[in-house]
Amino acid sequence: MSRIEKYRFQIETCDNCRCGFCRVDCPVWDIKRTESFSPRGKMQIIRAVLDGDLPPEEKIAEIFTYCTTCGQCEATCASNYGLVHPRSYKELVDVYVSFREFLKDTNPESFKHYRRIVENTMKTGNPYGESHNRFERISDVLNPSKDADVLIFFGCTSTYRVETIARSVASVFKKIDIPYKIMDETCCSSPVFRTGFIDEAIQLMERNREMIENAGCEELVTTCPGCYSVFDEYYREEVGLDIEVKHMSQFLLEKFEDENLWSRMDGFKHVITFHDPCHLGRAMGVYDEPREILMRIPGVKLEEMARTRENSRCCGGGGGFRASHPEDVKEMVRKRLEDAEKINATILASWCPNCILNLRFGETYKPSRLEILDAMEILDRVIK
């Protein structure tokens, strides 16, 4: 049985409803305004294909490349609130990912960008196809210990694309003197899994699971929400990983409280607005920890954008979307930068290398007075 068949209940429940609440704020619906590209339209297409009413050909596969896996539709779907069936669910992203798996082998043209990501990752251990050691360029600040309870997973985007974030993580840990281990990381599998290449993703998960277990630490801490969500959700389910997993914001908030590290922070006079990464907020429910840390930096004024927390606007950077539809991503970024500009923020902060990479990518075409910073870059500036 293919993976998508597991979701018959969700597909049929939606078919009995077709309310369309899911379209509200879907970033793809926002730019396409075409029913077949909306979350509801996608559910209808899946039902028709599984029932044999529609052939699973390229034009269908192309539609399913139009999803950032942001989970906004899950947050608004009527089924989530028990309005359609007493058994509520929140699994639309899993449905779309499983349908990508169903389509990928028979539709090579639509999946060619994703296949490149997968081939790079299987060959080099990172989706960018970089062959150098990921820690090489931050070796001057990296200070891993042989004896530590914490294992830091840096992730591919911070080490290969936004090196200032990886550097800031190492620098902050050095300043606050917390011992940590590192490992010979392979991509966590997030982009491979979310583009529908599940078998390959499970191979990557197995590689990392073994290294994580060999490290013998109590906690696994990630700088990237994409890594955090796959480790905490899919590694447990798919390869039986058994370790406490935390996002960096959760880990640091506990440490700052326990060791009263707040007093080591310099003033930082800025109006900051926080962009919730989809895979940290909607996927994992982590909204408060990043805000608590940023708010307690002396001098910081935190202001919320109109769309925030569960309703945070997706920047377009997830689910392989930047690889397959870069021009549409620019439009999504433009809208997010405008949200921040409307409230007169001086800094648009997030806590995700992928969001930061993506938001800065947007800046290349739209000049903005906002400085776009990861929270780790801010902490590295303010911690003495």
Q: How many angstroms separate the first and last alpha carbons of the chain?
A: 56
Residue 40 or residue 275: which is nearer to ligand SF4 going by CB? 40
In angstroms, give the least distance from the CB of 153 to ligand SF4.
Answer: 24
CB 354 within 8 Å of CB 128: no
Give the integer Cα–Cα distance in Å for 359 and 334: 9
Other Cβ atoms within 10 Å of 236 Cβ, number:
14
Coil, strand or helix: which one is 374? strand
Amino acid (1-letter code) at residue 298: P
In angstroms, give the least distance from the CB of 225 to ligand SF4.
Answer: 15
Residue 290 or residue 320: which is nearer to ligand SF4 going by CB? 320
* Residues contacting 109, CB < 8 A, separation 6+: 58, 61
Give the integer Cα–Cα distance in Å for 67 and 69: 5
Residue 70 or residue 261: which is nearer to ligand SF4 going by CB? 70
Amino acid (1-letter code) at residue 367: P
Binding site for ligand SF4 (CB under 6 A): 14, 17-22, 26-28, 39-40, 43, 67-73, 77-79, 84, 92-93
Residue 21 or residue 111: which is nearer to ligand SF4 going by CB? 21
Structure tokens at 179: 């011992």
Residue 10 or residue 350: which is nearer to ligand SF4 going by CB? 10
Instruction: Give the alpha-carbon dihedral of 14, 19, 21, 22, to 10 degrees.
Output: 30
In angstroms, give the least distance from the CB of 325 to ligand SF4.
Answer: 11
At 7, phi and psi to the nearest 5? -105, 20
Residue 68 or residue 168: which is nearer to ligand SF4 going by CB? 68
In angstroms, give the least distance from the CB of 154 to ligand SF4.
Answer: 26
Residue 242 or residue 327: which is nearer to ligand SF4 going by CB? 327
Residue 22 or residue 359: which is nearer to ligand SF4 going by CB? 22
Residue 79 or residue 98: which is nearer to ligand SF4 going by CB? 79
CB 220 within 8 Å of CB 246: yes
In angstroms, give the least distance from the CB of 64 to ligand SF4.
Answer: 9
In angstroms, give the least distance from the CB of 309 to ligand SF4.
Answer: 15
Residue 9 or residue 365: which is nearer to ligand SF4 going by CB? 9
In angstroms, give the least distance from the CB of 155 to ligand SF4.
Answer: 21
In angstroms, give the least distance from the CB of 151 to ligand SF4.
Answer: 30
At 150, phi and psi to the nearest 5? -115, 130
222 pairs with which residues across the strands? 153, 247
CB 109 within 8 Å of CB 60: no
Helical (H) or strand (E) element with 194: helix 190-194
Structure tokens at 62: 């192309």
Q: State how beta strands 219-222 and 270-274 pair.
A: unpaired
In angstroms, give the least distance from the CB of 276 to ligand SF4.
Answer: 14
Other Cβ atoms within 10 Å of 278 Cβ, number:
31
In angstroms, give the least distance from the CB of 215 to ligand SF4.
Answer: 33
The closest alpha carbon to 329, from 375, 305, 298, 360, belongs to 360
